[in-house]
Amino acid sequence: MLKTIRDFEVSQKKVLVRFDFNVDFDKTGEILDDYRIRKSLPTIEYLLGKKAKLILMSHLGRPNGEPKGKCSLKPVARRLEEYLKKPVKFVPDCVGPAAEKAAKAMGPGEIILLENVRFHKEEEKNDLNFAKEIASFGDLYINDAFGVAHRVHATVVGIPKFLPSGLGFLMEKELNTLSKAMKKKLPPLVAIIGGVKIETKIKLIGRLLKDADHLILGGRIAYEILAGKGLCLAGPFPGEDILKVLEKIDITNPKLHLPVDAAFILKSGNGGYFRNAPLGQLRKEEAVLDIGPETGKIFAEVIKTARTVIWNGPVGKFEDERFAKGSLAVAQAIIKSRAFSIVGGGETSGFLKKYNLLKEFDFISTGGGAMLTFLEGEKLPALEALER
């Protein structure tokens, strides 16, 4: 039985809390969507009310094991201060003398936010010495980062080896809601996968081709697959490791639905040029940024048949309104279908928020890959670590 935050006496204790503050920023460095930050507030406020000492940690982006300014959590500290109406001390590292000193100096009801844990390569390598050093700052550990529950990382599965551990309120709610969603999941099931990170979703695509009634692929992922199959010159060409996996995917499978046209721009130029065209007309000097109108119609017809829809990842670069039409077509088709809808991933929720569509969907998860892993019936490493 997994313990939760309620099962611990936290007063005067130093509580290490792993959150998922992996938010997106605009070109000026402002946070685009703070949905994940807002979802962390119930756990933080509960601990503050119990006079705990809060040590918060998270990752942000993909800095590949080294400090990068654009991946700093400092703006997150400022946003937390706005919501909590109290200081959040930002510590410029997650290990080392500065972090140790800040943790030792804490008083009840105080909060510190450690710098991005992925600034150290040991995080993604699940280095136990790295986990042990961070664990030494606290008296107990709470995991409230559902978005990385499928990752075998030091602050996800390593720290529970050294401290009493449990679930935060967001993690608990995600698991309870998704468990209920699985019971409501009725066929036909349509899964929609978009976004840009093919390396994190390629294996999942293979599983969904077996388990879903229909699998729709959009975004960079779809055009990378089409490029790998020699059907899209403008698509980003996948690496050798992805090509090997693609050999096992039969794109003639009637369950699989890929784009037939695209919206794109010139790779070089002022960005003013863009057009829609069938895949066969795309050129190497052009870059795909959205599905085309014909693809939108085809996808809508497939979605119309669904009683359950799982959606992870926009199908275009929605930040630019010229390339939001595909994702809007998908969203409207889901709404019209009246299927039970489960949406996951920060980019997808950011898109829905931008177009005021969040309330039109049954459940919005803070996790993308974690949500899909859970719904596929796979065990989440974070939960296994807490059980141990």
The residues that are catalytic are 36, 197, 346, 369
The Cα 18–Cα 13 span in angstroms is 16
Helix (H) or strand (E) holding 179, with range, is helix 169-184
For residue 154, give the DSSP letter. Answer: I
Residue that has been written with the tokens 């690496």 in this structure: 239
The Cα 380–Cα 105 span in angstroms is 35
Where do the DSSP E strands lie in 151-228?
165-167, 189-193, 214-217
The Cα 141–Cα 159 span in angstroms is 7
The Cα 99–Cα 16 span in angstroms is 12
Residue that has been written with the tokens 């402002």 in this structure: 30
User: Which of 326, 246, 324, 231 shows the shortest CA–CA distance to 279?
Assistant: 231
Q: Answer for the pair 91, 114: CB distance below 8 angstroms, yes or no.
A: yes
